[in-house]
Amino acid sequence: MEHRKLRFALLGNIYQARKSASIQKVLSTIANYGAELYVDMEYYYFLKDHQRLDVKATKVFSDNNFDADFVISMGGDGTFLKAACRVGKKNIPILGVNMGRLGFLADISPDDIEHCLRALYNDDYAVESRALIQVEADGAPLGECSYALNDVAILKRDTASMISIRASVNGQYLNTYQADGLVISTPTGSTAYSLSNGGPIIVPGTKVFSMTAVAPHSLNVRPIVLADSSVIELDVESRSHNFLVAIDGRSEKCKEGTRIVLRRAPYDIKVVKRSDHRYFNTLREKMMWGADTR
């Protein structure tokens, strides 16, 4: 049966050296469909030189110089976040193939890739729009990729004393957090760093952000949920006179006095999900709700 021509851009984790069989299955399935395959250069040479795989790539690309109908992220949720950063405003849906443990973003196993590709060709899939947080430092974008799909964390550096974070929302003073840090999370990232600090689980698609303190000095400090139309301004004081801003784990060092402004990004990231995907099923499995460990 002849299929319409689709273009796939492949990005992956180069540190998963024992996954060659799973990767080969994905490559073979794509080849069987006669699809055009564009492969990230670093990942391409990893597959060719380290995995000794026969990669029939239509094109090898570097940086963010690619276009495709779909991006396939080979790895875990961390790899997916990097892929989202590189996709940026391209509006290309991302399919996350999980090469390790069950993920929230990368939730397709290599064994399911043939079924998933068939679903893509049959238009039997869903695309979810996920909001991002845009980060500015003193009015300028922070770092090479100033957008977070999961979260933005304001953190103390190394063994420094806790920092003081003055937070305002839409120009109104909210609170001064005395803590090791502050996590501002999207619904997508609510099950990541925010959750480990006691933040709420937020169902994707809910139009909110959450703010959760990291090891706050006062036990009275609790997470707060804000409309994602809010503009959050943060001013940080630190004994070491500097602090870190982690954007989906990508750390940027900032000097004390730098004003950090967070708002919803002007574009979303598109995530490919199976038509039978149920978020609560993934949530129960990942959180081991109802599991009897006795």
Active site residues: 77
Torsion angle defined by CA atoms of residues 273, 274, 276 and 280, in that order, rounded to the nearest 10 degrees: -30
Helix axis angle, 20-32 to 113-121, nearest 10° = 30
- Does 195 show up as a binding residue in the annotation? yes
- Does 191 show up as a binding residue in the annotation? yes
- Does 29 show up as a binding residue in the annotation? no
Strands 125-130 and 94-98 turn out to be unpaired
- Does 121 show up as a binding residue in the annotation? no
Strands 259-264 and 208-214 turn out to be unpaired
- Does 77 show up as a binding residue in the annotation? yes
- Does 67 show up as a binding residue in the annotation? no
Going across the sheet that includes 224-227, the strands are 224-227, 208-214, 181-185, 151-155, 242-247, 250-255
- Does 78 show up as a binding residue in the annotation? yes
- Does 82 show up as a binding residue in the annotation? yes
- Does 125 show up as a binding residue in the annotation? no
Distances (CA, A) of 111 to 4, 23, 99, 105, 117: 23, 10, 10, 17, 11
- Does 140 show up as a binding residue in the annotation? no
- Does 6 show up as a binding residue in the annotation? no
What residues form the annotated binding site for NAD(+)?
77-78, 82, 150-151, 180, 191-196, 215
